[in-house]
Amino acid sequence: MSNFVTQQTRVRMLSTALVILSGILRLYACYDNIHTSPVDTTALANWNAGQTVSTAAIEAFGGLDKCFAAEPIPDGVWGRMQGKTYKENPYIGRDDLRYVRALHWDYDEQIHIGEMICNVQIAERVATILRQLYEAKYPIERMLLPDVYNADDETQMRDNNTSCFCYRAVAGTTVLSKHARGLAVDINTLYNPYYKDRADGTRYVQPATAGEYCDRTKSFPYKIDHNDLCFRLFTEAGFEWGGDWKSCKDFQHFELIED
């Protein structure tokens, strides 16, 4: 009888040991999968602007130094710009512009791939500012080339897009905008609109859907004011802010102060 009990005990002990070993193996498999599976960096390698990426993908791609740069405009990007943000003109050409790669956080703390075309005069400064904003987790909702919106400024502003170069005139005039030379950056455009009060008491607002954000006493996401990091970084780097203008207000707008 005692031999039978002993045998039963051994069987139970062996069964318990097998269950524990199986659990350990499953845990090890999960750990191994988490720590050794390759991270997909395709979106970063192809620089697919607008896509979200993880911090693990950024590390696998080579870190932040590879994600912030100002470089000659790639052929594919230049092709996308033709007839949209870029039109043949006597003032500015491809060699005067740079393609800026950057990452940015949105208000929901997701990381996005961003892109921007800037004048060579400001491209390095802008890339540095965008990296500082990223490292501070400053929220920028979208950073796509205006060509995605067929270079229609109203449409991209309604989508809260952040951008720089677009060969166009100042709205309602024939005067070339600083954007036409790639010397002005617009940040979080829906929540930081342009407006001008007319002599007849009416107010002209761009984008037209942003009327409520003209009241700067209110609190809302993506708002730029004098206490804002974006304001401080751009003005310290030699830009003026449209929010300080007297005849109109352009809260999204930072343009290079030229001699």
pLDDT for 200-251, tens place per residue? 999 999 999 999 999 999 999 999 999 999 999 999 999 999 999 999 999 9
- Reference 257, options 248, 245, 246; nearest CA is 245
Per-residue pLDDT tens over the stretch 25-72? 454 444 444 444 578 999 999 999 999 999 999 999 999 999 999 999
Q: Per-residue pLDDT for 11 more than 50?
A: no
What was the pLDDT predicted at 22?
A: 55
Q: In three state form, how does the secondary structure of the chain look?
A: CHHHHHHHHHHHHHHHHHHHHHHHHHHHHHHHHHHHCCCCCHHHHCCCCCCEECHHHHHHHCCHHHCCEEECCCHHHHHHHECCCECCCCCCCHHHEEEEEEEEECCCCCEEEEEEEEECCCHHHHHHHHHHHHHCCCECCECCCHHHHCCCHHHHHHCCECECCCCCECCCCCCECHHHHCCEEECCCCCCCEEEECCCCCEEEECHHHHHHHCCCCCCCCCCCCCCHHHHHHHHCCEEEHHHCCCCEECCEEEECCC
Query: pTM for the complete prediction?
Result: 0.84
Which is more confident, 197 or 17? 197
Q: Residues 162-169: what's their mean pLDDT?
A: 94
Percent of the chain with pLDDT over 70: 85
Better-scored residue on pLDDT, 234 or 4: 234
The whole-chain average pLDDT of the chain stands at 90
Q: Report whether 73 contacts 97 (CB < 8 A).
A: yes
What amino acid is encoded at 233 in this protein?
L
